[in-house]
């Protein structure tokens, strides 16, 4: 099984997951995460509570060390989920376990091209210069649906919805997060990127990146 499929299969299990407790283990292969914050200090994070203590003190995580590419993606995703779930708990939001996950072909048809996977500075510069006003599908028109993913054999890239979460407030308002898995079909590079879905109006949806340092 290739790495991209592993990411998608793992993430799909979380779509209807309950809110994480602060005691949630975020270690990788039994070892706490080793992170460095903006003040240059090293920290060892074994649970969500450890991460939230840094957030409470307005610490920004600048690096995760000692991890393979796959473990790095998993660790970063765990921190982001701690961030989201903590916000949901504090604001008494309830996870809608019956929310329908948008198909990946709909996502690439409406997500901005800015979320496209880039592998070099040259690619990043080209995307910044020419990607404005385009959807991900328009940026990579060769993307086609294959086995639940949108795949471009020409560009050797694939995208999939790894996780989709809809939280409801007591007033009925929705807060939506979507995690997009992307990777190269010919190599080991893969990422998990989470976005807050702000609006689905218009051809290009409005999305805001969410990281382990984002204040929700």
Q: What's the pLDDT tens digit per position in 143-158?
A: 999 999 999 999 999 9
Summarize the confidence of residues 90-113 as an average pLDDT: 94
Q: Which residues pair with 180 in a beta bridge?
A: 161, 193
Domain residue ranges in the chain: 17-92, 97-210
146 vs 66: which has the higher pLDDT: 146
Query: What is residue 21's predicted lDDT score, i.e. its pLDDT?
Result: 63
Residue 79: which of 101, 49, 56 has the closest Cα?
Answer: 49
Query: What is residue 19's predicted lDDT score, i.e. its pLDDT?
Result: 43
Q: 183 is written with which tokens?
A: 């990777």
Cα gap 42→61, rounded to integer Å: 10
Residues 6+ apart with CB under 8 A from 180: 107, 111, 115, 159, 160, 161, 162, 192, 193, 194, 195
Length of the chain: 216
Contact 193, 174 (CB under 8 A): no
At 118 the three-state DSSP class reads: coil
Half-sphere exposure of 112 (CA within 13 A, CB side): 20
Query: What is residue 20's predicted lDDT score, i.e. its pLDDT?
Result: 52
Q: What is the pTM of this model?
A: 0.87
Cα gap 39→59, rounded to integer Å: 8
DSSP string, 141-168: TT-EEETTEEEETTTTEEEEEEEEEEEE
Cα gap 122→129, rounded to integer Å: 11
């Amino acid at each position: 099984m290739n790495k991209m499929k592993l990411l998608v299969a793992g993430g799909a299990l979380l779509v209807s997951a309950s809110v994480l407790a602060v005691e949630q283990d975020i270690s990788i292969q039994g070892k706490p995460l080793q992170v460095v914050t903006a003040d240059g200090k090293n920290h060892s994070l074994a649970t969500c509570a450890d991460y939230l203590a840094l957030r409470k003190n307005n610490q920004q995580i600048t690096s995760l060390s000692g991890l393979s590419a796959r473990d790095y993606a998993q660790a970063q995703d765990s921190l982001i989920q701690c961030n989201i779930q903590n916000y949901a708990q504090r604001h008494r939001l309830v996870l809608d376990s019956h929310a329908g996950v948008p198909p990946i072909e709909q996502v690439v048809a409406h997500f901005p091209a800015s979320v496209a996977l880039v592998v070099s500075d040259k690619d990043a510069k080209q995307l910044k210069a020419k990607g404005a006003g385009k959807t991900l599908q328009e940026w990579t028109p060769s993307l086609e649906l294959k086995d639940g993913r949108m795949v471009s054999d020409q560009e050797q890239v694939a995208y999939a919805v790894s996780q989709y979460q809809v939280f409801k407030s007591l007033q009925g308002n929705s807060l939506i997060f979507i995690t997009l898995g992307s990777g190269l079909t010919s190599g080991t590079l893969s990422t998990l990127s989470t976005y807050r879905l702000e609006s689905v109006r218009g051809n290009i949806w409005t999305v805001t990146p969410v990281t382990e340092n984002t204040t929700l």
